[in-house]
Chain A
Amino acid sequence: MFLFNTLFENVPLPLLVTDEKGAIIFANRGVSRVSGYTLEDLSSLALSDLCAPYERGRFLFAHLSQIKETTEIDIDFQRKNGKFFMAHLSFSPFHYSGRSLLFLVLRDVTRRRVQEGKKREDEERYRKLLEEKNRLEEQLQRSRKLAALGELSAGVAHEINNPLAVITEEAGWLQDLLNRPEWKSLPALADFQDSLREILQQTKRCREITYNLLRLGRPLDMQVQEVNLRGLIEEVVEQKVRETQEQSIKIQAEIDPNLPAILSDAILLRQVFLNFLNNAVDALAEEGRITVKAGLSPAGRVEVAISDTGSGIAPENLPRIFDPFFTTKSPGKGTGLGLSLSHTILERLGGSVSVRSRLGQGATFTIQLPAGEKGAIADAPQNSDC
């Protein structure tokens, strides 16, 4: 027995024996070392006295007698000098001389827990970096896809423009002929004129499409200057408010008063904001709310979020939302080039756009733009090929 007592007292591992109410019956030097209490102090203390004040009300301390098998918990202890440390306690019940006692092994796990916490923080940081990497990769893939599609579209558009020019001239020539006095008595003159007007109207529509397609694939002619974004947004919103007067659509702008002027292209930006607002109006059908919020992002970029309370975008459509010709609108309502062109313009202005949406719960397009540095704007290669 002497051997065991000696071992118990001198082993570096903190060991305790308590009764079933937690009163310390025996504590070794290890406990004295980690707690700062003398062995004499310890003999008059209860287990809960060693714990941090906020741990003393634990359910376990009031029910120690109910521990029937080895139980392990993490608990904060408080040293005699008031400092806290994290401990791992294992309670093992045993009987001695007809009494129910508990054998406790205490380990100071402060360092391990701190390291684990740091590891968790590192893991969290790594997870965020990975997410950011994936997001950038996705953005890059999308840009590559759009660039390839844009180039193809521009090529097709260019080839279409020549026959379109011929159609325009031929139809125009027929109009010229019909305007001659000798044709005035033609029986179906009005029908001919009407048809020709329609042909020219539709050719004009094609020309607008090819014009936008060409802009997708070609470097844009940018006029970079100081842009009063606040004024620009207010102007575009006012325009849309006027245009939607007949509908039950509420459009409001919430602009941070500290929004700085930026170096960008006002005409291109105007087109981008109008495209997103048109898209939001179309998503609402006849009624709903559109909000344009502008301010600075935590990263110091200018952020403009355009939200609508419309029908939202189906998850399967989200990855294709910026593809040229992708549209869910009915024929004649949209060519599917507006968002694609806006995406291209924003990239060339050194910005980006992302979308969040749930079906039936509206959509938010968030535009980010560099806040001021001229160098941030993409220096697109120029091309004078016609």
Chain B
Amino acid sequence: MPPRILIVDDEERFRLTLSKRLGERGLEVGATVGTGMEALREIREKAYDVVVLDVKMPGLDGIQTLEEIKKINPHIEVLLLTGHASVDAAVDGMRLGAYDYLMKPCEIEVLLDKINGAYEIKAGREERIRQAEMRGRADREPA
């Protein structure tokens, strides 16, 4: 099953075209939104695997949005898109649990690799949790 993606960027044309290009490569872009608040609403209401998140946005910025996303669902992986190569912003983001960061504009293939990498991590972690839960259930059940 392909990862389900949420794209968050205040540049409408960017997020729409990016969505089409990721779709062209077999990914499922569940939604594209223009603000951090809309992103949080999406996360609460629907299931997503990876969020592609712009750092600089009016209102709730990317870093604040990341913090809130992790509070709602810590398993969702987040890829940050930064307007410039500030490693500091990236380090801040990574400390808050972002998977990686990319500088805009970025190569679609590079973005694709990162999304797949993030999804593998998430899927692997969920699988381990699932197996642990199964083991726990089996232990509790009478022989």
Q: Tell me the chain A residues, 368-386 only, with Cβ under 8 Å from chain B.
A: 382-386
The answer to whether A166 touches B86 (Cβ under 8 A) is: no
Is the CB of A168 closer than 8 A to any CB of chain B? Answer: yes
Which of B14, B20, B82, B88 interacts with A166 by CB under 8 Å?
B14
Is the CB of A246 closer than 8 A to any CB of chain B? Answer: no
Identify the stretch in A108-116, A154-162, A317-325 within 8 Å (CB) of chain B at 4 or more residues: A154-162
Is the CB of A313 closer than 8 A to any CB of chain B? Answer: no
Is the CB of A41 closer than 8 A to any CB of chain B? Answer: no
Identify the stretch in A141-149, A210-218, A232-240, A356-364 within 8 Å (CB) of chain B at 4 or more residues: A210-218
Residues of B within 8 A of A176 (CB): 20-21, 24
The answer to whether B105 touches A203 (Cβ under 8 A) is: yes
Q: How many residues from A make CB contacts under 8 Å with B?
A: 29
Measured CA separation A93–B92 after assembly (Å): 94
The answer to whether B14 touches A165 (Cβ under 8 A) is: yes
Measured CA separation A52–B23 after assembly (Å): 102
Residues of B within 8 A of A168 (CB): 105-106
Residues of A within 8 A of B85 (CB): 211, 214-215
Nearest Cβ in chain B — how far from A70, in angstroms? 81
Measured CA separation A323–B11 after assembly (Å): 32
Between A and B, how many residue pairs show CB distances below 8 Å? 80
Residues of B within 8 A of A157 (CB): 84
Residues of B within 8 A of A169 (CB): 13-14, 17-18, 21, 105, 108
Is the CB of B52 closer than 8 A to any CB of chain A? Answer: no
Measured CA separation A167–B105 after assembly (Å): 9
The answer to whether B86 touches A172 (Cβ under 8 A) is: no
Which of B11, B13, B86, B106 interacts with A386 by CB under 8 Å?
B86
The answer to whether B88 touches A383 (Cβ under 8 A) is: yes
The answer to whether B105 touches A158 (Cβ under 8 A) is: no
The answer to whether B84 touches A170 (Cβ under 8 A) is: no
Measured CA separation A214–B89 after assembly (Å): 14
Which of B61, B83, B88, B108 interacts with A161 by CB under 8 Å?
B83
Residues of B within 8 A of A210 (CB): 84
Is the CB of B104 closer than 8 A to any CB of chain A? Answer: yes
The answer to whether B105 touches A173 (Cβ under 8 A) is: no
Nearest Cβ in chain B — how far from A165, in angstroms? 4
Residues of A within 8 A of B20 (CB): 173, 176
Residues of A within 8 A of B115 (CB): none
Which of B13, B92, B103, B108 interacts with A384 by CB under 8 Å?
B92
Which of B14, B17, B106 has the most CB atoms of chain A within a 10 A radius of its CB?
Answer: B17
The answer to whether A165 touches B104 (Cβ under 8 A) is: yes
Is the CB of A164 closer than 8 A to any CB of chain B? Answer: yes
Ordered by A's residue number, 28 sampled pairs between the chains whose C-beta atoms are within 8 Å are: A158-B84, A161-B84, A161-B104, A162-B11, A162-B14, A162-B104, A166-B11, A166-B14, A169-B21, A169-B108, A170-B13, A173-B17, A173-B21, A176-B21, A211-B85, A214-B84, A215-B85, A218-B84, A218-B86, A221-B88, A383-B88, A384-B86, A384-B89, A385-B56, A386-B55, A386-B62, A386-B84, A386-B86
Interface residues of B (CB under 8 A from A): 11, 13-14, 17-18, 20-21, 24, 55-56, 61-63, 82-89, 92, 103-106, 108
- Known: A384-B86, A386-B61; 16 extra A-B contacts, CB below 8 A, are A161-B104, A161-B105, A162-B104, A165-B11, A165-B14, A165-B105, A167-B105, A172-B17, A173-B20, A176-B24, A219-B88, A384-B63, A384-B89, A386-B56, A386-B86, A386-B89
Interface residues of A (CB under 8 A from B): 154, 157-158, 161-162, 164-170, 172-173, 176, 203, 207, 210-211, 214-215, 218-219, 221, 382-386
The 8 closest A-B pairs by CB, nearest first: A165-B105, A386-B55, A168-B105, A169-B17, A214-B84, A221-B87, A165-B104, A384-B89
